[in-house]
Amino acid sequence: MKILVTGGSGFVGSRLVESLSQLGHEIINLDIESPKNKTNSVFLQCDITDYNQLKKVAEENLAGTEIVYHLAGMSREADSMKMPDVYYKVNVNGTFNVLDISRIIGVKKFIFASTFLVYGNPEYSPLDEGHPTNPKTIYSSSKLCGEIMCRSFQETYGMPTVCFRKSVIYGKDDPHKRIVTLFIERARDGKDLTVFGNKSLDFVYIGDVISAYVSVLGSKETGIFNIGSGEPITLMELANVTRDKINPRINIIEEGLRQGEITKFSPDISKARSLLGFNPKQDLKKFIESCI
């Protein structure tokens, strides 16, 4: 099967490219940045915000593509508040461009990387996919726009789409240094850990996320799915576990919430379990222990 992965040079994308390649598929990685490691895939350098460039690349290289995983985008919440124009250009205009090119070349399924942050603060918990959306930041609102466009393309053109609202991802060699990686690295370096508001969040291992992405290949299901562990933890507990396991000599400093941050997220992942066979296996605390 010929599969396109946009953002295939990134933390999640590179692992998805590798997993799909190992399954014997023909993989094309379309990204603005070259992959850091060699993979059994074709790399196409392209800016998804440039529609004409993307169309030209598609005409020359993407005929026969059956599946598109759209992972390319900007993903730092704090940065989105400082650069709203850039985030909307990449995450909204760029997503439209990839969707439209996918329509033109006759893609059979389009999978979009969204985020749990589209929910905002919960009205009930755990949150299922029917929970109201109320994004608090430019980043999360841009992702919700992407979801809406996916639904519109499915309704209008009959192109099946899947949207994954992923929890906070963690794993080794995370270049974005999300909070699990950040805490572990700071503890190793003997630096104090700062908790900005004692939020309760759900964390999901990179390997479990990849298994969810792969699961849609053999499924006819479409729509929105929560992808997480289903076992939320407070940031204070996460900090304490990290300190106790890695460096008991450091301190934990608690400060207030930052702009746009939510206080709680606990996902209901039963839909992904039942319809996609999603079964998260990695335990967060055991992962921290493995990093000692």
Q: What pLDDT score does 197 carry?
A: 81
Catalytically annotated residue among 88, 139, 170, 205: 139
Q: What pLDDT score does 38 carry?
A: 76
pTM for the model stands at 0.94
φ/ψ of residue 2, rounded to 5: -90, 120
Q: Tell me the pLDDT of the chain averaged across its residues.
A: 94
Q: What is the mean pLDDT of residues 226-235?
A: 95
Residues above pLDDT 70, as percent of the chain:
100
Per CATH, the number for 169-202+230-266+281-290 is: 3.90.25.10
Would you list the DSSP string of 19-88?
Answer: HHHHTT-EEEEEESS--SS--SSEEEE--TT-HHHHHHHHHHH-TT--EEEE--S---HHHHHH-HHHHH
Q: What pLDDT score does 258 carry?
A: 74
Q: Residue 139 catalytic?
A: yes
For 40-97, what is each residue's pLDDT tens digit? 899 999 999 999 999 999 999 999 999 999 999 998 877 888 999 999 999 999 999 9
Q: 83-97, 101-115, 244-258: which range is least confident on average?
A: 244-258
For 152-199, what is each residue's pLDDT tens digit? 999 999 999 999 999 999 998 888 788 899 999 999 999 999 998 888
Class of domain 2-167+205-227: alpha beta
For 15-24, what is each residue's pLDDT tens digit? 999 999 999 9
Sign of the CA dihedral running 13, 27, 210, 102: positive
CA 205 to each of CA 140, 180, 197, 277, 280: distance values in angstroms, whole numbers, following the listed order: 21, 10, 23, 16, 8
Q: What pLDDT score does 37 carry?
A: 78
Q: What pLDDT score does 196 carry?
A: 87
The yes-or-no verdict on residue 255 having pLDDT over 80 is yes
The yes-or-no verdict on residue 292 having pLDDT over 80 is no
For 200-214, what is each residue's pLDDT tens digit? 999 999 999 999 999
Domain ranges of the chain: 2-167+205-227, 169-202+230-266+281-290
